[in-house]
Amino acid sequence: MKAAVYYETGSPDVFRYEDVPDPVPAAGEILIDVEAVSIEGGDTLNRLGGELAAKPHIVGYQAAGTVTAVGDGVEQMSVGDRVVTVGLSGSHAEKRVAPASFAWKLPDELGINEGACIPVSFGTAHDCLFEFGRLQAGETALIHAGAGGVGVAAIQMAKQAGARVLATASSDERLERLKDLGLDDGINYVATDFVAESRRLTGGRGVDVIVDSVGGATLQASLHALAYRGRCVTVGNASRVAAAPIDVSGLGGQNQTLSGYFLGAELLTGSRAYAMVADLVRQVADGKLQVVIDRSFPLADAASAHAYIESRQAFGRVLLTP
């Protein structure tokens, strides 16, 4: 099969488009012919400086396609099923294996491109808001990187839950587009200090829940935007700034909470997260939630796709198609 691989981490130009051996499903795994790859933020971070499980390495968390083989013990999936899969690596290829417990069947009415985008971004957004952020109707949520995959999902979910929704983005044009998804107030972080603006928009009170996928200095500042008993959930490091110590000394006096989140850990520890993602797949299929796709690149042009994401031009998801 063909795959976008690399032999060392670094900038997008480390990618090579090469022939590699077809993967074989082990017990509990499925093999799919990949039809759409949703490039996740973690994919670009892993390419930049993550561990190489093998050389050449095939990066990538999430891909959708059709099941072509199943390993021993797999009963919930069959050859011919349309599915979306999640794994620690291997999505940037014509074929990929994944645990059946990290795969979801796609309803007939759901397109393969839309289905490819759901588990990581929508599952992460849902858990950050509700399982860990404990967002309630009438509260205010601040979503960082509102035009990204997690941001687009979180804005819709927070609004549907009855919250007031604030979000940050790098331009007024992007913020305007987010209003159709449920954004109440946008904050252009290039032109405005988001902490001061968040407090201004809330009459000085601060926000109840923050979903911070940016990290770095933004995460430290997020803690200063919290209301009394506010909750901040950190997921990912889109800023690509090396982790720095976070001063949490001010949290106790305001009974505030800082939580870290990783969807993979939740999927490994029980059935709750799997069922949550399955419900989100159903909601997208029913039109209750919307997947936003910016554009698609050929798998052979993975370098350009990653470079486009890192240019911060994308609005929504960027796909690869074998």
Do 180 and 220 lie in one domain? The reply is: yes
Do 129 and 252 lie in one domain? The reply is: yes
Domain extent, residue 152, equals 125-264
pLDDT of residue 237: 77
Burial of 115 (0-12, 13-18, 19+ CB in 10 A): buried
Q: Is 286 inside a domain boundary?
A: no
**CATH of residue 98:** 3.90.180.10
Q: Is 204 inside a domain boundary?
A: yes
**CATH of residue 139:** 3.40.50.720
Do 148 and 112 lie in one domain? The reply is: no
Do 89 and 40 lie in one domain? The reply is: yes
Q: Is 112 inside a domain boundary?
A: yes
What angle is formed at CA 94 by the lines to CA 13 and CA 3, rounded to 5 degrees? 25
Do 84 and 199 lie in one domain? The reply is: no
Do 13 and 109 lie in one domain? The reply is: yes
Q: Is 260 inside a domain boundary?
A: yes
The better pLDDT of the pair 65, 237 is held by: 65
Q: Is 283 inside a domain boundary?
A: no
Do 112 and 189 lie in one domain? The reply is: no
Q: Does the pLDDT at position 242 exceed 70?
A: no
Q: Is 282 inside a domain boundary?
A: no
pTM: 0.96
Residue 238: pLDDT band with limits 50, 70, 90 = low
Q: How far is CA 313 from CA 147, 306, 317, 318, in A?
A: 9, 11, 11, 10
Q: Is 284 inside a domain boundary?
A: no
pLDDT in tens, 132-184: 999 999 999 999 999 999 999 999 999 999 999 999 999 999 999 999 999 99
Taking the C-alpha atoms of residue 11 and residue 47, their distance in angstroms, rounded to an integer, is: 7
* Total count of domains within the chain: 2
Burial of 146 (0-12, 13-18, 19+ CB in 10 A): buried
Q: Is 145 inside a domain boundary?
A: yes
